[in-house]
Amino acid sequence: MMELVPDVRDPYRVIFVCTGNICRSPMAEVVFRWFAAQAGLGDRVVSSSAATGDWHVGERADGRTLDALRRRGYDGSHHRARQFTHADFDRNDLVVALDRSHERILASWARTPDDADKLALMLSIAPRDDGQLDVPDPYYGHPGMFDEVLGMIEGASRALFRQLEPAIRSTS
């Protein structure tokens, strides 16, 4: 498993990236922010999300995403899709790709070794028993797939937060 250790900068910034920024990455952004808030570290962690493509820039999250989040007690209503830019490497401490295609794209956009060192694959942070590395895209899937994907994201976000929490707390 990858070793993730925040430095002393305040706050620690994580961006989650998927294809259109209307399904998976908004879920991860909201869930990770929730974990930080529940731990009393909401002011020490900034969670955001972006897309590799520009198809949905300015749009709200997919309605099925918002419904899945709402059913589990999360609020995704403020989300607006945006595309990842080179400046996101500068603004964030960690760049989390939701699947290997996003990881490859982001790696190709990295301008420096420091940019590339910020990349992580969501399910490599919390390896699954089935060896799956990609959070599946629910966009063209059956309605229940949004809930299934949210469950995967909750597990991986919990693992990521647990890994980062001690270092974030120690810099408070």
User: Which region holds residue 124: left if phi is over 0, alpha if psi is between -120 and 50, else beta?
Assistant: alpha
Structure tokens at 58: 């300015």
In a domain, 1, yes or no: no
In a domain, 127, yes or no: yes
At 123, which CATH number? 3.40.50.2300
In a domain, 57, yes or no: yes
pLDDT tier for residue 130 given thresholds of 50, 70 and 90: confident
- For the beta sheet containing 94-97, the strands, ordered from the edge strand earlier in sequence to the opposite edge, are 45-51, 12-18, 94-97, 119-121
Give me the active site residues, please. Answer: 18, 24, 137
How many domains does the chain divide into? 1
Please give the helix or strand (H or E) that residue 168 lies within, else none: helix 145-170
pTM: 0.93
Nearest-angstrom CA–CA distance, 171 and 103: 29
Q: What digits encode the pLDDT tens for the residues 139-169?
A: 999 989 999 999 999 999 999 999 999 888 8
- Residue 83 burial (CB < 10 Å; 0-12/13-18/19+)? middle
The boundaries of the domain holding residue 103 are 12-170
Please give the helix or strand (H or E) that residue 38 lies within, else none: helix 24-38
pLDDT value, residue 1 = 42
Structure tokens at 17: 């990236």
In a domain, 30, yes or no: yes
In a domain, 145, yes or no: yes
Selection from 153, 128, 112, 119 nearest residue 23 by Cα: 153
pLDDT at 2 over 90: no
In a domain, 71, yes or no: yes
In a domain, 103, yes or no: yes
In a domain, 3, yes or no: no
pLDDT at 43 over 80: yes
pLDDT at 8 over 50: no
Q: Taking the CB of residue 7, how many other CB atoms lie within 10 A of it?
A: 9
Q: What digits encode the pLDDT tens for the residues 69-85?
A: 999 999 999 999 999 99
Determine contact, residues 36/162, Cβ cutoff 8 Å: no
